Amino acid sequence: MTIEENAASLPRPMQPITHDNLLINFTTEFHRVWSTNGSKVKPGAFWRPTPARDALPGYFPLGDQFMFSNFNINGEMVSAVVCEKDLNGERNSKGNALAKPADFELVWKESSTSSATRASIWRPIAPVGYVAMGLVCANDHSKPSLNTIRCVRADLVVEAKVGDLLWNDKGTGAKLSFSAWAIEPPTAEPGEICFAPGTFVGVPTYSKPTTPGTAYALRMQIPLQIKAAPQAPALTGYAHPGDDAVVKVTQIARLPWFAVRDHANPAEQFFSSPYYELQRTDEYVLIGYDHNTSDKTRPAKWTAHRAQNPIGLRKFSGFTSIEIAKAWPSVLLSDMRVLKLSARLPEHFTHTKSSASGWNEMRPQVVVAMVAKQTAVAVFQMESHYRLIREDGTQVAVEFGYTDDSSIHLTQYPPEQIEIARACPQPTGNTPSGTEASAVVDVIAPSSLERPSATDTAP
């Protein structure tokens, strides 16, 4: 899934999320279909997303949604809507992304003679190869129009879970029983976001539905802008390497607004920053340098400290809800959000492809190198620094960093072959006769000893 380039003329247009030939966008405009006002049931209302034709032409809702109170949600809530992508006359071999329901079947109707309205709730019957993602409410007993919503091609969605109870009809006096339930997306795979559009599932009982295939969620790949890793530094002379040799490379994961908690109501956040950039900047940082001007090989030792900061990482996750080494959110972002999601960053972006334990490693590494005579040696460590940026360029929460055991790089001048020692050589001022040694480096496992300070001299 990619982000569709769209030059819409809206004041703050959002580039739609594109999944194959499906376009997904969001609206803050709703029509209240039926309210529980005047009845003895729990207060609430059923709303239908109504994307403005001038702003989102060709977009349809996926079903109605329920809110616990009767306040006006227009301009306050945000719901997903969908559109068929224009393929410029070409055909998708899998078929259209969207289809009208083949029909509707009645699930419940309000039949109390004392009620001011005669509400009903209907289940869309999807054509073969498509799924319905929510129910439809009516303020009478008439079957809804087939143009009310759209069904989605089955390969574009993922099976979801039935969540908490939203509403039931106890107290309406209806002859039929009915309960409405939230939709919870499954746990996302690395690099994906699964999200429920705000619709609900319902059954003509008060029991939670358990039938597989009852609920579905949309999904997307997290768009990435990946560049080649920074080139490892190399000594080109005996001089101490300067800061001008540092090369920084920034990788970007682009997150839609609903995947980030930014302490604003959903509509405000949607309009102010439809997308966020989680930027990872990689650079090699100098750990130590030694120029051996003597005629004998000598050892040198440096300490490579970790860039990880558990306090900073906790602050970042606490403010944004984004987790680095696992899926998020661990708790609901807000009771005000109708969109439910599960997101997980790509493992290569978070350095968790082999193991997530690196984020918990705080102990420094000790680097020992045997520096040949008349040789200069520099040891670098690649660090990754993460920060979250809004569309206006401002930063969210705090920056945090990462280093691991595989990020050490040694370079020497003259650039002779570098040998990697499997065991730490014993520090000694003597070199076997006839040996013209290249630099021999050993990275000692993270020390459990007290953190020593970096030094450019032999131990």
Please check whether residue 18 is in contact with residue 85, taking contact to mean a CB–CB distance below 8 angstroms.
yes
Reading the block at residue 24, the tokens are: 């997904």
Other CB atoms within 10 Å distance of the CB of residue 209: 14
- For residue 3, what pLDDT is reported? 45
Nearest of 67, 63, 61, 64 to residue 37 by alpha carbon:
67
Handedness of CA 70, 264, 191, 88 (dihedral sign): positive
Distance CA(79)–CA(255), nearest Å, equals: 17
Please check whether residue 163 is in contact with residue 340, taking contact to mean a CB–CB distance below 8 angstroms.
yes
The total number of residues written for the chain in this structure:
459
Does residue 434 have a pLDDT over 70?
no
Q: What does the pLDDT look like over 208-232, one tens digit per residue?
A: 998 778 899 999 999 999 999 899 8
Query: Helices (DSSP H) in 321-384: which residue ranges?
Result: 347-350
Domain residue spans of the chain: 2-221, 239-444
Per DSSP, 251 falls in state E
Q: Give every CB contact of residue 43 below 8 A, 6+ residues apart in sequence.
A: 36, 37, 68, 69, 70
Top-ranked range on mean pLDDT: pick from 107-111, 340-344, 352-356, 438-442: 340-344
Per DSSP, 363 falls in state S
Amino acid at 113: T
Kindly indicate the confidence band of residue 69, based on its pLDDT and cuts at 50, 70 and 90. Answer: confident
User: What pTM was computed for the model?
Assistant: 0.85
H/E stretch holding 27 reads strand 22-27
Mean pLDDT of 422-448: 44
Of the two residues 450 and 202, the one the predictor is more confident about is 202
Amino acid at 23: L
H/E stretch holding 270 reads helix 266-272
* Strand partners for 251: 280
Q: What does the pLDDT look like over 236-278, one tens digit per residue?
A: 999 999 876 678 999 999 999 999 999 888 899 999 999 999 9
Distance CA(150)–CA(18), nearest Å, equals: 16
Nearest of 288, 316, 458, 448 to residue 377 by alpha carbon:
288
Mean pLDDT of 131-155: 96
Torsion of CA 262, 263, 268, 272, to 10 degrees: -30
Reading the block at residue 320, the tokens are: 């944004």
